[in-house]
Chains A and B, each alone.
Chain A
Amino acid sequence: MLRYFKRMATDSPLVLTTFIIIFIGLLLLFSASRGMASKEGIFFKQLLWVLFGLGLMYMVKNIDYRDVKKFAPLLYIAILACLVLVLIIGKGAGATRWIRMGGFNFQPSEFAKLAVIIALSAFLAEKNAAKVHILAASLMIIGIPFIFILKQPDLGTAFIFIILFFAITHQAGAKKSHLFFLVMAGLVMSPVFWLVMKGYQKDRILTFINPMRDPLGRGYNLIQSIITIGSGGIAGKGYLRGTQTKLAFLPEYHTDFIFCVLAEEFGFIGVLVLLILYYFFFRAILDIIYSTQDRFGRLMGAGILSMFISHVFINTAMTMGLFPVVGIPLPFISYGGSSLMVSLVSVMLLVNIRDNSLMF
């Protein structure tokens, strides 16, 4: 198994960058969890997740991604069932996002992203998205889980669904004018939604857009997050020497705000290194997408790429006050098994697309 991964890493820049980013993530989690009694266990838990994830990768290495296409409808229905279940019995801070299974929390909305990518790609693999009825059907496929996720409410994931829809349909040949019409329709509809919303719901949305409306809660967190990043300076305060993170100003340093730990302890140089790694990671995916002739593979690849880009962008942007704070993890780095599993399976699918494209 070890030899397999060694070959993979030298063979594929995608897998190599993935492993390096995972390693950086573990370093940061170790720092974030140190000295916090309540978070002591998370480093080891994540280490276990990484090992489990590698095992999972090894297990699925021989599965042809084209077989996944056959199971797409089944996968889609299963994930819809999970999303409904989460609305009924879910748990989570302020919103219902998790299902508790055995000793760990399972977050269906993470899996839903990949499931929807596969379902939509499978649907459009033999169809032309330039036709209006095909585009409308695509909108339905993504719309149903979108509404369930909005209901949780998980605004971040819902937003990513919108990106996925445009990325995949555009790749599948949808007309620019149609897509533009959909964007405009969405913009026109939004005031209607605003009017039917209740006062407290509006309040929540406004706070979501402008955290300073709640200066003791979200606003305080955001200011602390920005101070943490800024205080890292050019070279950072040094590994394990972050003062802001150690004083625990933010409750979510190990999950959504893990970027702050990097920025504080490794400074602008650390940020630069990580972003360059992500850049190579994205480029590697891009090369895979355009190396294959298989339409399903290409659509899926485009979906996965836009999923990763939007995660990295939204997560880092929100910690710096450029984007509303939503629950979007930083791929391979934020603490959490669901997100890591989905990311690793996605990487395996891409590797598989590449391996099969070479045979043409």
Chain B
Amino acid sequence: MEVEKRLLGNVIKVSIGIILLRCFYLQVIRGGYYHMLSENNCIRTVETGTPRGIIYDRNKRVLSKDTPSLQLVFIPYDIESAEKEAKLLSSIIEVDVPATLKKLKGRYSNPFERIILKKKLTKEEVSLVEENADRLPGIFVQEGLVREYILGQSTAHVLGYTGEVNEEQILKYKEKGYKAGDVIGQDGIEKLYDFYLRGISGGIQVEVDARGHHRKELGRKQSLPGNNLVMTIDQTIQEIANEELGSRHGSVVVMDPRNGQILALVSKPAFDTENLHEYFTRGGHPFLNRAIKGQYSPGSVFKIITAISALETANIAEYDRVECTGSITVADRVFNCWKEDGHGWVDINLALPFSCNVFFGTIGMKTGVTKMVEMARMFELGKATGIDLPGEKPGSLPDRSTTDALNLSIGQGPILITPIQLVSLISTVANGGNIWKPYLVKEILTPAGEKVKEFAPSIRKTVFVSSETMEIVRKGLENVMVFGTGAGSRVAGVAIAGKTGTVQRAHRELELDTQGFFVCYAPADDPKIAMVVFLDRASGPIATRIACNIVKKILVPKEEEPEPSEAPEKTEEEAANVEIL
């Protein structure tokens, strides 16, 4: 027993002895040296940085990459007077004084870490800063990297933008290794795939003397560049969509109906990643990605669902006719068709191309709200598509208590759908029933080109609608462009199937304001692209024209633009040769 006790007693003595000896060595024998180190704060780290991954389009053309630039940085510990230096800086170069002051005064876990004050300095700015170097202790110019977006505002909503981590993000992502001054994706693909795009920054740890000269290198960490992304976006189509949308507010999404790959996604107004702060205060919601976050009433586009649900529930047959006199009266309420003198006797084959409100109102009342909403839900409307972008909105579907069949049948009232959901709907009609999950990133590659991850197309759901119904709807959509509401925008050489939609919104000042939609796929008999065009403060026909111009530029080769009389078969062969598909 005593032996045991003595053994444990010795363990105690030895443990405490070791600690005391080590402390004696560090504090008493080497105390002076460490005191000197702590006085002069001689251990510094210098980050060497690392480039963020490159973002490519589907054909490996660069959409975004890091390029070298000169930047203004500071070392928090060496700043003598934040106010004075911020004031001096603002007098020689263009800086945001409150933001600069906030940065200079901030508390950092490593006060010797260089923090960026301003990126992309011009040559004049560099020389001005260097002239005033002695009055700007702790602030200097160094080489760094700046993110460049080749297509500029065109891809702003897809790619997003990068920025320094904010305090909230530091707390949230601390365990993932983010610290003050690090760059992080703040929106879009840059945000969602930040983990892959950001590399590991290298750096050295050095002992410096009182004047800041390096005396001894204590350690070195190799940097690792970020991984590259290959997107499903086609740079050419993205540019076409961007040009055609022009300065209008709205959005265009082009998708491959055979696999859900997004070929182009544009939303306007957009922002310029180099002058972000200017856009934060600008009107028109430039940071709202209308394609996935804008929720709108679909208007006449919803007639596709009305038609399918009426046909599938056998509430009408293909040749059942309704007489349109320009309006119908239901319980004292007058419901107008857009064509004042009416369409006469029409069946579904005529009503869909003409977008006859009276016809759809009548069959909608027969089918009922519940069945129509059921069909909309089956096509996954009113639900986020799961596209790989942050912040997608789900929209919402009404029910019997919030809307009536008449309103719903023509897509008016409390039904909200996002443009990306509409492109998913039209794709499903085009391919006969597969609801593909829309996606933007195809592959993630290491800098050396090895595959890290590959994203295969995935089907969210297969919709079972009889082939007769689908055939009727597809024929109707094709006729929209032959003799219906879209005929004025016909494109020679490509058969397009589509549906227009114009929604009136009563404004506060009782002015009528409209939103225009056009959904389509082409070529009609072998769909290779599906598209939605949404316009704020414009009408369906304008959206139709924009969509048709885009289809034309994608599917009809420029030089060999055929005469309108030429046989369509030939151009379709040519279309199939276009490399993007």
On A, residues with C-beta under 8 Å from B are: 36-37, 92-94, 171, 212-216, 219-220, 223-224, 226-234, 243-244, 247-249, 251, 263, 267-268, 271-272, 275, 278-279, 282-283, 286, 289-290, 302, 305, 309, 312-313, 316-317, 320, 322
Give the number of A-B contacts (CB < 8 Å).
140
Q: A278 vs B221: C-alpha distance in the bound complex, in angstroms?
A: 39
23 examples of A-B residue contacts, CB within 8 angstroms? A93-B175, A212-B218, A215-B203, A215-B221, A216-B221, A227-B43, A229-B23, A229-B26, A230-B31, A230-B34, A231-B35, A231-B37, A232-B27, A232-B31, A234-B28, A247-B77, A249-B109, A271-B27, A279-B13, A286-B5, A286-B12, A290-B1, A316-B19
Chain A neighbourhood of B247, CB < 8 A: none
* Interface residues of chain A: helix, strand, loop or mixed (majority): helix
Closest to A305 in B: B8
**Residues of A with C-beta under 8 A to B47:** 216
Please measure, in the bound complex, the distance between the C-alpha atom of A316 and the C-alpha atom of B31, giving whole angstroms: 17
> B18 is contacted by which of A224, A227, A283, A313 (Cβ under 8 Å)?
A313
Q: How far apart are B110's CB and chain A's nearest CB, in angstroms?
A: 7
| Docked pose: A214 CA to B221 CA in angstroms | 6
A290-B5 in contact (CB<8A): yes
Contact between B35 and A230, CB atoms less than 8 A apart: yes
Between A216, A243, A267, the greatest number of chain B beta carbons within 10 A of the residue's beta carbon is seen for A216
Instruction: For residue B220, give the distance in angstroms from its CB to the closest CB of chain A.
Output: 6
Inside 8 A of B219's CB, which chain A residues have their CB? Answer: 212-216, 219
Q: How far is the CA of A309 from the CA of B18 in the complex (A)?
A: 13
The residue on A at minimum CB distance from B45 is A216
Closest A residue, CB atoms, query B5: A290
Enumerate chain B residues within 8 angstroms of A268, measured Cβ to Cβ. Answer: 23-24, 27-28, 31
Chain A nearest CB: distance from B50 CB in Å? 12
Contact indicator A302/B8 (Cβ below 8 Å): yes
B571, chain A: closest CB distance, angstroms = 54
- 8 shortest A-B CB distances, which residue pairs? A215-B219, A230-B34, A231-B38, A215-B205, A233-B31, A230-B26, A268-B27, A313-B15
Is the Cβ of A227 less than 8 Å from the Cβ of B34? yes
A17 to B169, CA, bound (A): 43
* Minimum CB distance partner of A290 in chain B: B5
| Complex CA distance for A134 and B39, rounded to whole angstroms | 58
The one of B27, B37, B221 in contact with A233, judged by C-beta atoms closer than 8 angstroms, is: B27
Q: Which of B375-431 contact A (CB under 8 A)?
A: none
Residues of A within 8 A of B11 (CB): 309
Q: Does B4 contact A (CB under 8 A)?
A: yes
**B9 contacts partner chain A, Cβ-Cβ < 8 Å:** yes
Instruction: Provide the residues of chain A in CB contact with B28, threshold 8 Å.
Output: 233-234, 268
Q: Does B488 contact A (CB under 8 A)?
A: no
Q: In the complex, what residues of A have CB within 8 A of residue B45's CB? A: 215-216, 220
Q: Contacts A248-B107, A279-B12 known; A223 to B26 CB distance under 8 Å?
A: no
User: Within the complex, what minimum Cβ distance (angstroms) separates A288 from chain B?
Assistant: 11
Complex Cα distance, B15 from A165, in Å, reads: 19
Contacts of A215 in B (CB 8 A): 45, 203-205, 218-221
Chain B residue with minimal CB distance to A316? B19
Q: Which of A93, A268, A312 has the most CB of B within 10 A?
A: A268
Q: Identify the closest chain B residue to A271 (Cβ).
A: B23
Task: Give the residues in chain A near B110, CB-CB below 8 Å.
Answer: 220, 249
B330 beta carbon closer than 8 Å to chain A: no
**Which of A212, A227, A309 has its CB near the most chain B CB atoms (within 10 A)?**
A227
CA distance A222 to B43 in the complex (A): 12
* Also in contact, A220 and B175, with CB within 8 A (given A232-B27, A234-B31): no
- Is the beta-carbon distance between B221 and A322 smaller than 8 angstroms? no
* Cβ of A26 to closest chain B Cβ, rounded Å: 22
* Closest B residue by C-beta to A228: B38
User: Which chain B residues border A283 with CB–CB below 8 Å?
Assistant: 9, 12
Q: How far is the CB of B215 from chain A (nearest CB, A)?
A: 14
Q: How far is the CA of A272 from the CA of B24 in the complex (A)?
A: 9
Nearest chain A residue, comparing its CB with the CB of B32 = A233
CA distance A165 to B21 in the complex (A): 28
A171 to B107, CA, bound (A): 51
Best-buried of B13, B15, B27, B111 by chain A (most CB within 10 Å): B27
**Cα distance A290–B8 in the bound complex, in angstroms:** 11
B99 within 8 A of A: no
Interchain CA distance A227-B219 in the complex, whole Å: 16
- Rounded to whole angstroms, the CA-CA distance of A231 and B24 in the bound complex is 12
CB distance from B34 to the nearest CB of A (A): 3
CA distance A286 to B6 in the complex (A): 10
How far apart are the CA atoms of A226 and B43 in the complex, in Å? 12
| Mask: chain B, 177-208; 1 = CB below 8 Å from A; 0 = not | 00000000000000000000000010111000
Question: CB of B30 within 8 A of chain A?
Answer: yes
Known contacts A215-B204, A215-B218, A309-B11; A230 and B27 CB within 8 A of each other: yes
Complex CA distance for A94 and B221, rounded to whole angstroms: 20
CA distance A155 to B326 in the complex (A): 79
Besides the contacts A229-B34, A271-B19, A286-B5, what 12 more A-B pairs have beta carbons closer than 8 Å?
A216-B205, A216-B219, A223-B43, A226-B34, A227-B43, A233-B31, A268-B28, A268-B31, A279-B12, A283-B12, A309-B11, A320-B22
B23 and A263 form a contact (CB under 8 A): yes
**CA separation between A8 and B216, bound complex, in Å?**
55
Considering the complex, give the chain A residue whose CB is closest to the CB of B17: A275
B174 at the interface (CB under 8 A from A): yes
CB distance B8 to A92 under 8 Å? no
Q: B23 and A233: CB pair below 8 A? A: no
Task: Give every chain B residue within 8 A of A220 (Cβ-Cβ).
Answer: 43, 45, 110, 205
The answer to the question of B448 belonging to the interface, with a C-beta cut-off of 8 Å to chain A, is no
Q: Please indicate the chain A residues that have their CB under 8 angstroms from the CB of B43 in the complex.
A: 220, 223-224, 227
A230-B33 in contact (CB<8A): yes
Is B576 engaged at the interface, CB distance under 8 Å to the other chain?
A: no
Q: Which residues of A contact B12 (CB under 8 A)?
A: 279, 282-283, 286, 309
Contacts of B111 in A (CB 8 A): 247-248
* A275 proximity list for chain B (CB < 8 A): 16, 19-20
Inter-chain contact A286/B19, CB cutoff 8 Å: no
A128 to B28, CA, bound (A): 49
A317 touches B204 (CB 8 A): no
Neighbouring B residues of A224 by C-beta, 8 Å:
43
Interface residues of B in 149-191 (CB under 8 A from A): 174-175
Chain B residues, CB < 8 A from A36: 107
Q: Assuming the A-B contacts A215-B45, A228-B38, are A271 and B175 also in contact, with contact meaning beta carbons closer than 8 angstroms in the complex?
A: no
Count chain A CB atoms within 10 A of each CB in B19, B28, B201 and give the residue with the most: B19
Inter-chain CA distance A226–B35, complex, in Å, is 11
B4 touching A171, Cβ below 8 Å? yes
B39: min CB distance to chain A, Å: 8
Q: Give the residues in chain A near B35, CB-CB below 8 Å.
A: 230-231, 233
Q: How far is the CA of A214 from the CA of B203 in the complex (A)?
A: 10
Q: Is there an interface contact between B174 and A93, defined as CB atoms closer than 8 Å?
A: yes
The distance from the CB of A201 to the nearest CB of chain B, in whole angstroms, is 16
Contact B9 A263 (CB under 8 A): no
Give A123 Cβ to nearest chain B Cβ, in Å. Answer: 20
CB within 8 Å for A227 and B19 given contacts A263-B27, A282-B12: no
Q: For B35, give the chain A residue with the smallest CB separation.
A: A231
Taking the nearest CB of chain B, how far is it from the CB of A247, in angstroms? 6
